[in-house]
Amino acid sequence: MNASFGPDRERAVELVQQAYADGRLGPDELERRLELALTATTSQELRPIVADLPDDVVTITNTGGRIVREGDWQVPRRLRVESVYGRVRLDLSSAYVPHSWIDIELRLAYGGATIILPPGASANVDGVHLQWGRMTCKVPGRPCPGALHVRLTGELPYGRLTVRTGRG
């Protein structure tokens, strides 16, 4: 089993639990799918367990200029940000985040991103690829029980990524 399998299992368990909470699965189906997810030994075994469950991606696209989300905004489970030129600032410190973990995919040709997390949150930045840029992550990399965990992925060939908590 590879080291990156854990987040896939966590994602599958959360999708199944959310489907139950939304009324899309009954108690027996919840129990069946959770057992399959918790006993799976590969990511491939997880795919059929969640194949029929929605896992929508919200995409924000901009050619030039800044992309800013701050204050009281609802953070989706999966967010993709695409920009050719310009900077991105996603401030989650005052946002409504209804999920225990979220995925943010950054596709920024030129420009950088600043991700601001609430206190106690963690972030895994291992999936971010930079060529000429710099990455600074000032939050824990491992999930903390009961706190938000953000998985960052994507490409910033000529940009900088900063991940930090809000200044309270």
CA distance linking residue 1 with residue 16, whole number of Å: 22
Under-70 pLDDT residues of the chain = 1-5, 55, 168
What pLDDT score does 4 carry?
Answer: 53
3-state secondary structure of 84: coil
Name which of 161, 139, 136, 160 is nearest 150 in CA terms. 139
**Looking at this protein, which amino acid is placed at residue 144?**
C
The per-residue pLDDT for range 52-91, each reduced to its tens digit, is 877 678 999 998 889 999 999 999 988 999 999 989 999 9
The beta strands (E) that lie in 38-121 are given as 57-62, 67-69, 78-83, 88-91, 101-108, 113-117
3-state secondary structure of 32: helix
